[in-house]
Structure 1
Amino acid sequence: MPTALVTGCAGFIGSHLSERLLADGYRVIGLDNFDPFYDQATKQINLLASLQQPAFTFHELDLRDGPAALATALAAEKVDVVVHLAAKAGVGPSVKEPAAYVEANVLGTVHLLEWMRLSEVKNLFFASSSSVYGNTVELPFREDMALLAACISPYAASKLSAEQLTFTYHHLYGLNVLNARFFTVYGPRQRPDLAIHKFARLLLAGQPIPVYGDGSTARDYTFVADTVDGVARGIAYLLAHAGTYQTINLGNSSPVKLRDLIAAVGTAVGVTPTLNQLPMQAGDVEVTYADISKARHLLGYNPQTTLADGLRHFVDWLQKSEAAPTKPLLASATGV
């Protein structure tokens, strides 16, 4: 039974991934610092299903505290693969707090890499972002594109910097690495600051939807189960292929314009949207569009969920979670 260390395990994607790995027979060690970007209670609820599994262990820990903090928390553990999802999220907020994003996403990654080096843990799956492509004109986005002048937000720059660091540790210390650039992931438990979640809540409350720009910007929306399947396949690939350094896109290869997304969310909710037109936000890109041929070839990655089906799953979860009574929180996060 391989052991996977999942950073950011209480988040949207991390909690789904932890459950998938447990179902696949992995032992999972989860780390999270409960960053206040959104409500800690939501993240604790995300963890409840995994905490019921005997093969899951949780530690509340901040990667910014350094390799020694990791070494202390994980002293008794033998880790086969690290899945590094933990990051300070959000393009817009990173424009206002660039230093905080560099500290969490770059320095935090260095601390994790140093712990891996010192502990001789050789396999790393790193969650990067489609934001590293910026406003690259050529479509779809390929992993071999030159990106040194592409990043237009501190968040994107922090993710590309972390990718560069994973190569440095591969080159110097033989780290086995798969970098995966995630394209806008949605589904149950999606972060409340993301568009689909915000739009659905506004529609359910009878409020207008803010539209930044003319509605022509487009995103490659990927349902969370498809992204998690790609991650699970990537982990299996790492464990079977020593000496790997690869970068892949995990997207849906089907961009959706903002105006069409709003209409689709309205259909899923059963409400005709009212729009509030606003200027474009700093740091936002015009389009994201993943070329997923490399992930298909290496991993057999093949996203299955249509936007309409995915939105129905999301809205069903949102309505049930809103109607559910308050769930008990963790009595103590550390070392559960």
Structure 2
Amino acid sequence: MKILVTGAAGFIGFHLSKKLLEKGHDVIGLDNINDYYDVNLKYARLNELGVSKEDAEKWSVKAESEVYQSKFYFVRMNLEDRENLPQLFKDEEFDVVCNLGAQAGVRYSIENPETYIDSNVVGFLNILEGCRHNKVKHLLYASSSSVYGESKEEIFSVTDTVDHPISLYAATKKSNELMAFTYSHLYGFATTGLRFFTVYGPWGRPDMALFLFTKAITENRSIKVFNNGDMSRDFTYIDDIINGIEIVLDNPPVGNVPYRLTNIGNGEPESLLDFINAIEGSLRMEGKKEFLPMQPGDVPRTSADTSELEKLGYKSSTGIKTGVKHFIDWYKEFYKV
């Protein structure tokens, strides 16, 4: 198939592009390479896919990779670009779109709300319109466990009511789910929303806890432990996430309204302090801990009900000790620690 992957220079988008290419699909990766975190990491991911920094810096120009037998092109573009994005859809005639591009980060959305509306709402509308007008068979898009807000449920299910987001980031992701349903209902193309639960692993985001903690500990700085450590997360290793996306890709929703919403998580939450212990164990270093109150927009716990995805064959199989070790091995090599 020919597949568009937005956010291709991002953490999940990079891993997905790599996997799709290895399986023989033709992939066009799209990203605006914004400076929300270190752009050099984004350029390094693209370099792994065979696209040089020099080529990746060119706006709205297809840069071709020669690393894979299947074709990979990279295009630097904003999702909210109402001129060039529709033209890209028209020119390429994608079979499937995987929209992983978005402005990420719960806390950052409190400081920079406009960026989230531009990328996550206006940009997502442009993606939906591109799919509608160009006969795309299936749209997969990134939602988030953040939509559950301060849910009191023991396990988060897609059937839960999620009408009270506590960050603008979560509100934009909830809006994506509503918009996708509307387009599936009106125009009949398949959409699948993927509620990701705390994804981690090699090439991960520098604003995430694993990256922040590892960097601080190796630099002999204290780590910030919010809510005094009384937090738990459904930490999900990147390989399990990509496996879940592949399963959804191979099983598009059907019916009068071909719409699906699913959690992709580990299904077994771990306490934040156990996660820190796994980092310390892999590094063989003990971190200095600074215990702090809860941050605005954050939640104390997440726990994914993955039963619907498991019916399609999904199973998260990577424990935190193994996953954390893989990340730290990569971190040491990449940053020459």
TM-score, normalising length: structure 1: 0.92
Partner residue, 1:65: 81
> Paired residue for 2:138?
123
1:211 aligned to 2:225? yes
CA distance in 2, matches of 1:160, 1:239: 19
Decide whether the 8 Å contact of 2:3 with 2:26 is kept in 1: yes
1:155 maps to what in 2?
169
Q: Partner of 2:211 in structure 1? A: 197
Q: Alpha carbons of 1:240 and 1:168: their partners in 2 closer, same or farther (altered >3 Å)?
A: closer
SS at 1:91's partner residue? coil
How far apart, in 2, do the equivalents of 1:217 and 1:14 lie?
27
Give the deviation of 1:37 after TM superposition: 0.4
- Out of 195, 198, 211, the residue aligned to residue 181 of structure 1 is 195
**AA of the residue aligned to 1:310:** G
CA apart distance, 1:307? 0.5
Q: How many residues align?
A: 320
Q: Which residue of 2 aligns with 1:330?
A: none
Q: Within the alignment, does 1:95 sit opposite 2:110 as a pair?
A: yes
> Are 1:323 and 2:336 matched, yes or no?
yes
What CA distance in whole angstroms lies between the structure 2 residues aligned with 1:204 and 1:23? 34
Other-structure match for 1:79: 94
Q: CA deviation at 1:244?
A: 2.5
Q: How does 1:1-336 map to 2 (within 5 A)?
A: 2-51=1-50, 52-53=67-68, 54-66=70-82, 68-149=83-164, 151-238=165-252, 244-297=258-311, 299-323=312-336
Give CA deviations for 1:200-232 in whole Å, capped at 9, x if unaligned.
Answer: 111111111111112011110000010011011
For the Cα contact (< 8 Å) 1:176–1:242, is it kept in 2?
Answer: no
Structure 1, unmatched stretches of 5+, are 325-336
Task: Say which SS state the counterpart of residue 229 (structure 2) adopts.
Answer: coil
- Counterparts of 1:107 and 1:167 in 2: how far apart (Å)? 16
Q: Give the RMSD, CA atoms, in angstroms.
A: 1.6
SS in 2 for 1:37: coil
Structure 1 position 239, deviation (Å): 8.4
Aligned-residue sequence identity (percent) comes to: 39
Residue identity in the other structure for 2:4? L
Q: Structure 1's 81 and 243: CA in aligned 2 closer, same or farther, altered over 3 A?
A: farther
> Hey, what's the Cα distance between the residues in 2 that align with 1:306 and 1:213?
24
Q: Which has the higher contact order (CA 8 A, sep 6+)?
A: 1
SS of alignment partner, residue 335 of structure 2: helix
What letter matches 1:55 in structure 2?
K
- Structure 2 letter corresponding to 1:28: V
2:118 counterpart letter in structure 1: E
**Counterpart residue number, 1:327:** none
Distance in 2, Cα, partners of 1:74 & 1:31: 12
Provide the rounded CA distance (Å) in 1 between the counterparts of 2:269 and 2:317: 15
Alignment partners' CA distance in 2, 1:58 and 1:74: 14
- Cα drift, residue 78 of structure 1: 2.2
Q: 1:24–1:116: structure 2 CA closer, same or farther, 3 Å change rule?
A: same
3-state SS of 1:214 partner: helix
Task: Please tell me whether the aligned partners of residues 170 and 245 of structure 1 are also in contact (alpha carbons under 8 angstroms).
Answer: yes
- Within 2, Cα distance between the matches of 1:316 and 1:10? 21
Unmatched runs of 5 consecutive residues or more in structure 2: 51-66
Q: Secondary structure at the match of 2:154?
A: coil
- 3-state secondary structure, aligned to 2:49: helix
How far is 1:55 from its partner?
1.3
Following superposition, which runs of at least 4 residues in structure 1 exceed 6 angstroms of deviation?
239-242
Contact 1:263 1:273 in 2 (8 A): no
Distance 1:203 1:229 in 2: 31
Map Cα deviations across residues 106-163 of structure 1 (whole Å, 9 max, x no partner).
11100111111122213101110000001100121001111112x1000000000011
